[in-house]
């Protein structure tokens, strides 16, 4: 029997501590390098693709070691700097290295025995490049449509099928099924070009003569010739949409020319952000204020690698980003530009692509596995120098990262709510420190943590107080809803002041944005006789009424039921709707302004990226008069003709049981207000509020941003909340109420043994049942130093071990959220 001499530590994508040791067969030793993926058996039946973390020369004592089954890569897909970063994340956020691996790698680089494969819809059924086993797999998928890797193992009578699966993925024959859940469809654009027979001058002149009686068609042909003439363009094709918009040609004219055989068309797959022609815009000059800000940033980087750029909305922060990116790329270094939600930032993406063209890589979860793996490999091989992405882009294999830009650094979307629960902004700063890269944080409304770091002189600070060019800040008006109701100046949820301003704006051919941070029609329905409220059967929350789908929905677990005709308690038919969401606002406004073109932007209307893009296109082209939305309308939107912004209920933002509710309300109101009057004309913001004397409202009313931050810091310091402590939220859940309470008591005891009074009592959260599991929570407040963080990590590990060894409590779910948001 072969006695192995080489052993490896392998990371598996599992929520289990540490790495796992495997032996390497002699024939695979040359290929078993740190960073390559290997196929391994875990347990009796499970097969996973793991990553070699390191080599071990001595055989582990007192343990049985399995052999790796195959090596899946010729070269590493992860390098040492990434492993160091993964270790930091796992330690800081109290999770396992396997959970980090699972979050870091794109699906195309992760395989396990439960993975399901399907035929790639784009596969052209050309089987000539496939070997016998690959052909057998493809043929089986034609019949079965979907197979697990275990099915393939039985079909091929092989223990190791990963190399075959990898080959089929590379040849783009198959997809891992989890990609289908994302419902990704390649974006296509129609391109037109003139038929080859009309390329010669004589035949082209003859064509123009034949079109004398169709002047619009003749004009379209001339416009095409002007655009694509060999002296002007190397390409004979033009994007149909661009052609129509640029030359103001009716689509029916293009259709008629295609029908006559004068134009031909073809569909081309383009990137999700490729909405531009191939040309790249020439450079531009910064304003004097922007030049000064950029010089300050570069000067401060010499002493402080992290700088905050605080600029009012419309001040031109993106222009400064572009210039800093240009400078970094010129030094031969890479740039990572992070956005909180890339699916909601089409305009920023388009802007950057217009300057950097296809050299920019776009990376986020909406892209299919081939695109994500390709970007991963391109970056590893130094083929991409600029990456634009959401938080997951932080895990890409940068080789020479020089700059990380964190745009809208205050946004809570940077915090991941599933394990590993990392904060991309904070993690980016740690990664940059490791790589000696610079960091630029950009926002109009800094987070309290960032503001505190500036005040403590840990971060550099540059401020832009004026809008760019001719843009002026909007006029902000507050409407006291108590006075309006008392004076009968309300129509539904609209004050007469807001409604009249909306009418005036539409008459002036301008656009309106209305903000209501709650989707649906009515937050809850109740019986007018006995006060019964329909609740979710799985969660401790009321059901929200959605009028369009005519359903009551739970926004926690997705449970739905039909609206009630009668109260199940007292049989009364008098059921009333209470509160209002975006759907209700849309419904009411269409009654008050029947001629207005109204659209809604929330999670119910923007299920796909294309639907979001269509809303943005319609706004830009003036096809929408009023856009109603949740906080989506505050992110990355810049419309030339928005003259009015209305906030329906500022109070709702201030009523959340969260120490950050004041901060988020201040930021959201400031951000949405910045959507008004983005060009030379002054915009207007109307904020409806019940509690006009609330401190946050008063600071906003007097435009006293510095005063607000000073006041909020005093509240945080008095109550010892971040940034004056590090906060960890421990949540336990179980289907049995008593079991979870017992687990909470045990958790409190174990953590207090290590951390003392820093650990709070366990309580039931406001929503104490979600998805049929009861919840208990406790808070741990610790000092902001590495020593206490080390003790917290040890205490959490001890807690996990104790719960895992208890026959009753081992089934309790434990969730640890460091720096909870």
Q: Which of 608, 576, 583, 575 is nearest to 518 (CA)?
A: 583
Which CATH number is 726-818 given? Answer: 3.30.70.600
Domain 7-105 has CATH 3.40.50.2300: no
With a cut of 80, say whether residue 287 has pLDDT above it.
yes
Show Cβ contacts of residue 127 under 8 Å, excluding neighbours closer than 6 positions. 135, 138
Determine the longest span between alpha carbons in the chain, in angstroms. 93
Which residue matches tokens 């960091």? Answer: 439
What six digits make up the tokens of 711?
A: 């006041």
- The region that residue 624 occupies, defined by phi over 0 for left and psi between -120 and 50 for alpha, beta otherwise, is beta
For the range 692-696, what are the long-range contacts, defined as Cβ-Cβ under 8 Å and sequence gap of 24 or more? 692/478, 692/480, 692/482, 694/651, 694/654, 695/662, 696/654, 696/662, 696/665, 696/666
pLDDT tens across 731-761, in order? 999 999 999 999 999 999 999 999 999 999 9
* Helix, coil or strand: residue 80: helix
Please give the torsion angle defined by the CA atoms of residues 737, 739, 740 and 746, in that order, rounded to the nearest 10 degrees: 150
Q: How many CB atoms lie within 10 A of CB 533?
A: 13
The CATH superfamily assigned to 475-521+595-716 is P-loop containing nucleotide triphosphate hydrolases (3.40.50.300)
Which CATH number is 288-464 given? Answer: 3.40.50.300
When pLDDT is cut at 50, 70 and 90, the band that residue 710 belongs to is very high
With a cut of 90, say whether residue 57 has pLDDT above it.
no
128 or 195, which is more confident?
A: 195
CA atoms within 13 A on the CB side of 423: 17
What six digits make up the tokens of 71?
A: 């090596």
When pLDDT is cut at 50, 70 and 90, the band that residue 183 belongs to is very low
Most confident of 224-238, 550-564, 791-805: 791-805
Are the CB atoms for 94 and 414 separated by under 8 Å? no
When pLDDT is cut at 50, 70 and 90, the band that residue 377 belongs to is confident
**What CA–CA distances, in Å, run from 177 to 15, 222, 618?**
22, 48, 34
User: How does strand 386-389 pair with strand 438-443?
Assistant: unpaired
Q: Considering only 139-143, 354-358, 473-477, which range has the smallest mean pLDDT?
A: 354-358
Instruction: Give the residue extent of every domain in the chain.
Output: 7-105, 116-181, 187-270, 288-464, 475-521+595-716, 522-579, 726-818
Looking at the DSSP bridge assignments, the partners of residue 64 are none
Q: Mean pLDDT throughout 461-473?
A: 79
Looking at the DSSP bridge assignments, the partners of residue 363 are 389
Are the CB atoms for 335 and 329 separated by under 8 Å? yes
Q: Considering only 243-247, 481-485, 626-630, which range has the smallest mean pLDDT?
A: 243-247
Q: In what order do the strands lie in the sheet with 334-338?
A: 360-363, 386-389, 334-338, 401-407, 438-443, 306-311, 460-464
Task: Give the chain's mean pLDDT.
Answer: 88
In angstroms, the CA 405 to CA 426 distance is 12
Q: What is the pLDDT of residue 273?
A: 38
Q: What is the pLDDT of residue 428?
A: 98
Are the CB atoms for 399 and 382 separated by under 8 Å? yes
When pLDDT is cut at 50, 70 and 90, the band that residue 43 belongs to is confident
With a cut of 90, say whether residue 711 has pLDDT above it.
yes
Secondary structure letter of residue 112 according to DSSP: B
Q: What is the pLDDT of residue 271?
A: 47
Burial-class residue 631 by CB neighbours within 10 Å (0-12, 13-18, 19+): buried
Q: Considering only 42-51, 387-396, 664-673, 766-775, which range has the smallest mean pLDDT?
A: 42-51
When pLDDT is cut at 50, 70 and 90, the band that residue 357 belongs to is confident
Residue 323 phi, psi (nearest 5): -65, -40
Q: What is the pLDDT of residue 279?
A: 41
pLDDT tens across 716-737, in order? 999 999 999 999 999 999 999 9
The percentage of the chain sitting over the pLDDT mark of 70, rounded to a whole number, equals: 92
Q: Mean pLDDT throughout 47-74?
A: 88
Domains 7-105 and 475-521+595-716 share a fold: no
Most confident of 182-191, 262-271, 436-445: 436-445
In angstroms, the CA 683 to CA 702 distance is 17
In angstroms, the CA 237 to CA 218 distance is 18
Q: What is the pLDDT of residue 308?
A: 98
Q: What is the pLDDT of residue 610?
A: 66
Q: Hey, CA dihedral for 506, 511, 516, 521, is it positive or negative?
A: positive
Most confident of 49-63, 532-546, 604-618: 532-546
With a cut of 50, say whether residue 185 has pLDDT above it.
no
Q: Mean pLDDT throughout 324-339?
A: 95
32 or 199, which is more confident?
A: 32
pLDDT tens across 673-696, in order? 887 876 667 889 999 999 999 999
User: For the chain, how far is it from start to end, CA to CA, in angstroms?
Assistant: 55
Q: Mean pLDDT throughout 117-125?
A: 82
Show Cβ contacts of residue 77 under 8 Å, excluding neighbours closer than 6 positions. 35, 36, 37, 51, 105, 109, 376, 377, 380, 397
Looking at the DSSP bridge assignments, the partners of residue 546 are 551
Q: Considering only 71-75, 159-163, 590-594, which range has the smallest mean pLDDT?
A: 159-163
Q: Considering only 26-30, 152-156, 765-769, which range has the smallest mean pLDDT?
A: 152-156
What is the C-alpha radius of gyration for the chain, rounded to an integer number of angstroms? 30
Q: What is the pLDDT of residue 178?
A: 46
Please give the torsion angle defined by the CA atoms of residues 224, 229, 234 and 240, in that order, rounded to the nearest 10 degrees: 0
With a cut of 80, say whether residue 182 has pLDDT above it.
no
Q: Considering only 263-277, 507-521, 564-578, which range has the smallest mean pLDDT?
A: 263-277
In angstroms, the CA 402 to CA 380 distance is 15
Most confident of 202-206, 297-301, 360-364, 489-493: 297-301
Q: What is the pLDDT of residue 742?
A: 97
Q: What is the pLDDT of residue 371?
A: 75
When pLDDT is cut at 50, 70 and 90, the band that residue 46 belongs to is confident
């Amino acid at each position: 029997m072969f006695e192995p001499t080489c052993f490896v530590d392998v990371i598996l994508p599992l929520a289990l501590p540490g790495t796992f040791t495997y032996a390497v067969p002699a024939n695979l030793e040359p290929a078993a390098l740190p960073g390559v993926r290997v196929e391994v058996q875990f347990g009796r039946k499970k097969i996973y693709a793991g990553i070699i973390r390191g080599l071990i020369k001595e055989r582990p004592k007192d343990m049985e070691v399995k052999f790796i089954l195959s090596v899946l890569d010729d070269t590493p897909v992860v390098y040492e700097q990434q492993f160091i970063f993964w270790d930091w994340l796992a330690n800081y956020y109290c999770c396992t290295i396997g959970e980090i691996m699972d979050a870091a790698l794109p699906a195309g680089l992760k395989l396990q025995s439960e993975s399901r494969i399907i035929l790639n819809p784009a596969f052209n059924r050309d089987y000539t490049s496939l070997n016998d086993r690959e052909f057998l797999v493809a043929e089986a998928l034609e019949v079965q449509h979907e197979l697990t890797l275990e099915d393939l193992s039985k079909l091929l009578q092989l223990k190791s099928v990963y190399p075959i699966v990898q080959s089929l993925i590379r040849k783009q024959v198959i997809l891992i099924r989890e990609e289908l859940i994302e419902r990704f469809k390649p974006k296509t654009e129609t391109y037109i070009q003139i038929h080859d027979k009309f390329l010669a001058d004589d035949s082209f002149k003859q064509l123009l003569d034949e079109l004398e009686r169709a002047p619009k068609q003749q004009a379209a042909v001339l416009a095409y010739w002007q655009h694509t003439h060999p002296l002007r363009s190397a390409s004979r094709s033009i994007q149909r949409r661009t052609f129509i918009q640029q030359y103001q040609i009716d689509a029916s004219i293009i259709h008629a020319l295609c029908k006559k055989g004068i134009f031909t068309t073809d569909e081309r797959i383009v990137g999700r952000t490729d909405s531009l022609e191939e040309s790249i815009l020439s450079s531009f000059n910064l304003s004097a204020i922007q030049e000064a800000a950029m010089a300050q940033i570069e000067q401060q980087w010499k002493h402080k690698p992290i700088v905050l750029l605080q600029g009012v909305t419309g001040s031109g922060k993106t222009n400064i980003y572009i210039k800093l990116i240009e400078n970094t790329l010129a030094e031969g270094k890479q740039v990572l530009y992070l956005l909180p939600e890339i699916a909601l930032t089409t305009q920023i993406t388009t802007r950057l692509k217009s300057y950097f063209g296809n050299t920019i890589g776009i990376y986020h979860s909406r892209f299919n596995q081939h695109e994500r793996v390709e970007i991963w490999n391109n970056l590893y091989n130094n083929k991409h120098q600029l990456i634009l992405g959401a938080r997951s882009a932080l895990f890409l294999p940068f080789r020479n990262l020089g700059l990380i830009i964190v745009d809208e650094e205050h946004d809570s979307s940077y915090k991941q709510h599933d394990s590993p629960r990392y904060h991309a902004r904070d993690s980016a700063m740690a990664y940059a420190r490791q790589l000696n890269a610079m960091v630029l944080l950009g926002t109009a409304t800094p987070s309290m943590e960032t503001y505190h770091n500036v005040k403590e002189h840990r971060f550099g600070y540059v401020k832009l107080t004026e809008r760019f060019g001719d843009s002026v800040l909007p006029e902000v008006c507050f409407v006291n809803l108590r006075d309006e109701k008392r004076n009968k100046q309300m129509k539904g949820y609209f004050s007469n002041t807001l409604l009249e301003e909306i009418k005036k704006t539409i008459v002036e051919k301008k656009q309106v944005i209305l903000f209501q941070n709650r989707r649906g029609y009515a937050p809850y329905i109740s019986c007018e006789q006995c006060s019964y409220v329909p609740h979710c059967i799985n969660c401790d929350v009321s059901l929200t009424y959605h009028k369009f789908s005519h359903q009551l929905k739970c926004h926690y677990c997705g449970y739905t039921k039909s609206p009630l005709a009668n109260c199940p308690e007292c049989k009364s038919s008098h059921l009333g709707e209470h509160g209002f969401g975006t759907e209700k606002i849309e419904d009411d406004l269409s009654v008050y302004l029947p001629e207005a073109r109204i659209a809604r932007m929330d999670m119910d209307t923007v299920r796909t990226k294309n639907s979001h893009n269509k809303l943005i296109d319609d706004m830009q082209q003036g096809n929408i008069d009023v856009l109603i939305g949740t906080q989506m309308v505050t992110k990355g939107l810049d419309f030339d003709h928005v003259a009015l912004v209305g906030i329906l209920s500022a109070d709702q933002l201030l009523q959340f049981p969260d120490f950050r509710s004041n901060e988020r309300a201040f930021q959201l109101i400031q951000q949405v207000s910045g959507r008004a009057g983005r060009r030379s004309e002054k915009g207007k913001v109307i904020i409806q509020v019940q509690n006009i004397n609330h401190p946050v409202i008063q600071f906003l009313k007097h435009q006293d941003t510095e005063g607000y931050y000073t006041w909020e810091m005093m509240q945080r310091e008095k109550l010892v909340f971040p940034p004056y402590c590090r906060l960890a939220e421990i949540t336990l859940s179980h289907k049995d109420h008593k079991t979870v309470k017992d687990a909470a008591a045990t958790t409190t005891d174990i953590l207090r043994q290590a951390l003392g009074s820093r650990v709070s009592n366990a309580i039931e959260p406001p929503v104490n049942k979600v998805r049929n599991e009861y919840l208990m929570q406790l808070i741990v407040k610790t000092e902001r130093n590495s020593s206490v963080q080390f003790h917290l990590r040890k205490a959490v590990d001890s807690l996990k071990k104790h719960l895992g060894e208890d026959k009753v409590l081992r089934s309790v779910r434990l969730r640890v959220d460091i720096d909870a948001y």
